[in-house]
Amino acid sequence: MLRIHFTTDDLVRTTVAPTADPLWEVVLAGGRLRDRVHPPAFHGWLTAVRDRLDHHDPAPRLLHVLAPVPDLLTPPESADGLEAGLAALRATPPHRLAAELERVGPLPAWVGQLLGGPRGPAALAEVLRHLHAVLVEPHAEVIGESVNADRARRARDLVDGGVPGLLAGLRPHARWDGAVLEVDSPHDRDLRLRGRGLRLVPSYFGHRPAAPADPDLPPVLVYPISDADRWTGAEPGGLDDLLGPTRRAVLECARTGAGTTELARRVGTSPASVSRHTGVLRGAGLLRTTRHGTRAVHSLTTLGEALVAGRVPVAEG
């Protein structure tokens, strides 16, 4: 249990971040990737990520190895965006990185080869940039819309009940008793804010609250957004009825961007058939096609993404 102790000044200084933190999202998305069971909201994300990830890519394994030291991977500067967070990582003194790695315990030799020496911090930053590009960035619109929905929910809690109402609204993961916020955590500890306030950071990928282990870092509580605020996939039957099964499959397989031949492989049909379907979907405003040299790449428009994600109703009753 994490117990966060508030003073009156802390209540005044408690805020909700405007966006998810990019490096926290990388760390938490890595956790989702390792989960054995995934809620429906993550099925599409998981399929897309597995398509993009090389089976031999060591980056997810490195993230798993470093999971016990999240403070190393999530510098406070990340609140100002991905580039600020990566710059802070690159500026980490190599001796501090070495000390953090020692806290993890015995490490595979390849981790020491990758992160050891003066180039270690820069190498770690590049790994996290790569993971952000694979796990988070392609889903930025979905994440942003979901976080905005959560922030609207928190704003209503704040208007209706002030900061105490905002904190009470973090149930079921946390409980507010008027002075202390009790947060579900595998570690038993106390965090005394001492007038610094608390920054609440919504997370699309988180499934339980998380906070820096170092009490001297700026106080942050990363909390999972409500399942009701996450974009979820449309009912397969609804999209089949609307588009037909093959056209629906083309639309869904284009979420990560693909050429005509690649779409045909994913859907299990001919390139000629895919060309006909992409033409119809493009004409309906659901798909865009851009050219890279001689290659045509198909990807979803905002409307197409919303339809596949289930934000546009496709059937009533």
pLDDT tens-digit profile of 208-259? Answer: 999 999 999 999 999 999 876 776 544 545 677 788 889 989 998 888 788 9
Tell whether the torsion through CA atoms of 223, 229, 233 and 235 is positive or negative: positive
pLDDT value for 309: 66
User: Which tokens sit at 223?
Assistant: 């909390």
Residue-range domains of the chain with CATH: 2-18+141-229 (no CATH), 22-138 (no CATH), 236-309 (1.10.10.10)
Q: Report if pTM > 0.75.
A: no
d(CA 153, CA 157): 6
Judged against a pLDDT cut of 70, whether residue 29 lies above it is answered with: yes
Which whole-number Å values give the CA distances from 25 to 31, 70, 147, 207, in the listed order?
10, 11, 12, 11
Judged against a pLDDT cut of 70, whether residue 281 lies above it is answered with: yes
d(CA 278, CA 245): 14
> Which DSSP state fits 74?
-
What phi and psi values does residue 213 have, to the nearest 5 degrees? -80, -30
16-25, 229-238, 295-304: segment of lowest average pLDDT: 229-238
